[in-house]
Chains A and B, each alone.
Chain A
Amino acid sequence: MLRVNEKLVLALPKGRILNEVMPVLRDVGIEPEAGFEDSDDRRLRFATNLPELDIIRIRSFDVATFVAFGGAHLGVCGNDVLLEFDYPEIYAPVDLGLGRCRLVVAEPEDMIGSDDPATWSSLRVATKYPTLTQAHFAGRGVQAECIKLNGAMELAPQLGLCRRIVDLVSTGNTLKANGLVEIEQIAAITSRLAVNRAAWKTRPDEIGHWITKFRGAVDGDAA
């Protein structure tokens, strides 16, 4: 039983997105304790100015898992991660509009034009998103054999692991620098406020309060 977790826990992703999330956090009135933004601080759980809310700092893939299992009640993660796991226990009620990028299929420049996608029956792809990739290709009758990598997907075609990759692209510079070209988009990606389903149902007032706050912060930015 998770009775000890009477405090609400908000899971935030480490790295690039965190810098973009901080202003939104301050907009909704959450001020983490000192040390949270210091990447040298080895702690994983931090208090905030609100006694009823703690923050944890974890990898973005783990945000989805912590929220799905109810370890964290709220979280911020990209819909790439949400789509990859597709946990039925997670709701994503607010699009924070942060970390905008795209999930795309890319292949080496010199292959463009020389092969016809309509003839494919199976292909090998290096990706961090095997489930999404398989579903995407299965949708048009192609069996995708995925090589799961956790980073530096762009190296895979060069070093002969496979010829195509599925990866996140924001500016396209990394692809270009490695001689790859985007051939199609699978999904547009932004960060979402993720909410644990059971927490929303059992603590509707508190969770509802935060959803409204975050929604307000996002709409305020848009105006």
Chain B
Amino acid sequence: MTNKADKALLPAGMSDVLAPDAAFEASVLDRLLADFAGHGYDRVEPPLIEFEESLLTGIGAGLAEQTFRLMDPVSQKMMGVRADMTPQIARIASTRLINAPRPLRLSYAGQVLRVRGSHLRPERQFNQAGAELIGADGAAADTEVIVMAADALGRLGVTDLSCDLGLPTLVPDFCRGGPAGEGGDADLQTRLRQALDRKDAAAIAEFSDELGEDTTGPLAAMLAAAGPASGTLKTLGSLGLKGAAQAGMKLLNDVVDRVQAALPDLTLTIDPVENRGFEYHSGVTFTFFAKGVRGELGNGGRYQANGGAGSDSEPATGFTLFMDTVLRAVPAPELRSRVFLPIQTTAEDAAGLRAEGWITVAGLEECGDGEAEAARVGCSHVLDGGKVRKINKSNKE
């Protein structure tokens, strides 16, 4: 590896973040976490690596395929690099903070590493920021996290934000007792799930032989009902759902009313059959999108937090924002002006300028033409005779 190109090549999905993006990302993260802290969510910081057995149990079980593993030479146990921080927060809540009063509000931010990137997110390492509300159930708790996330994104300057609500338990509750229900034909369930995930209306219709029109009819209606919240709720209401499915729908309705009351400008949609990415969720889920921005800004929802097999679980809800997408949706920051200080400048003058909000770039040696040197090192201004002066761009070679 003597060649420059060899040295520059990074593994797939990894990248160097340079100026001004690195500073921008850090400042956006700071603003988000300050926002969460303002709502009483205390920041915690779990380690990058944990033992596999604690990282990949409970809600982390689905992440096994995405987790890089390495062996700890000290304990001789297998360790995993976190692919998602939520399971770590759940672990902290159910172990170290088991005696803390409920509801417990925690926030976090950090890098995660994944084995594979996806088509839309080829990055294998990226920043997550999020918050979890643990030990609280019901529509008020669901609403709190949705509104806090939407509000935080809005405050960052994300425009045309929309929130897509889901209820991954709706289809299983509806199918309960039938062949596609719990304990039924596992293969049939997988195929039905795939068809629903792709929103493939034709494939749903093909299930009518196996499930009967009584089941596929309402499923097709649920699939077609995805869209603006009020319309979806109306359709769901007309399906005559019973039992747990009906209770779930009522809860969804309640959450929609509360979120709309808090944030009347937020576009709210409902996707009653959405399940992808919500495999471990047990109640209302949500995904944030911004108009014209590729991919999800973040997602979250209700789940049962437990610290692994055997421990008690408690209701929790929370969300994770994906910083790569969030940054695409946030307006680019205004660059602060940089002023070049010739070597004669006193430390006092330099400090004064920084206090005024300038970025100062000090000259380290005598240079004849201050203006040319300022242009060369990327400054927009130069300190000349005690006065800050904008440089004349045409002087730049």
Which residues on A are within 8 Å of B, measured CB to CB? Answer: 1-3, 5-6, 68-70, 79, 82, 85-95, 190, 192, 195, 198, 200-205, 208, 215
Contacts and interface: CB of A to CB of B under 8 A. Distances in A.
B201 interface: yes
A2 B160 CA distance: 13
Contact of A202 (B160, B201, B202, B224): B160
Interface residues of B, number: 34
22 contacts: A1-B293, A1-B328, A6-B292, A82-B198, A85-B119, A87-B119, A88-B118, A88-B197, A90-B198, A91-B198, A92-B202, A93-B199, A93-B200, A93-B224, A95-B205, A192-B200, A192-B202, A198-B293, A201-B271, A203-B291, A204-B162, A204-B269
Interface in B293-312: 293-296
A90 B160 CA distance: 21
Nearest to A193: B201
B200 A2 contact: no
Given A202-B160, A202-B162, A69 B120 contact: yes
B164 interface: yes
Nearest to B290: A202
Q: Considering the complex of A and B, which 7 residue pairs feature the smallest CB-CB distances, nearest first?
A: A95-B202, A91-B199, A202-B291, A201-B164, A208-B227, A2-B292, A201-B289
A87 B119 CA distance: 8
Given A201-B269, A204-B227, A68 B292 contact: no
Interface centre among A91, A202, A215 (most CB of B within 10 A): A202
A220 to B, nearest CB: 16
Contact of A89 (B120, B228, B293): B120
Nearest to B271: A201
A190 B292 contact: no
Nearest to A96: B202
B276 interface: yes
B201 A95 contact: yes
B287 interface: yes
Contacts of B205: 95
Nearest to B226: A200
B215 interface: no
Contacts of A70: 294
B267 interface: yes
Contacts of B228: 204-205, 208
B269 A198 contact: no
A130 to B, nearest CB: 16
B200 A79 contact: yes
Given A1-B293, A93-B226, 4 more contacts: A79-B200, A86-B198, A92-B199, A204-B162
Given A89-B120, A201-B164, A205-B228, A5 B292 contact: yes
B79 interface: no
Given A198-B289, A201-B162, A93 B223 contact: yes
A190 B205 CA distance: 14
A215 B224 CA distance: 10
A84 to B, nearest CB: 13
A43 to B, nearest CB: 24
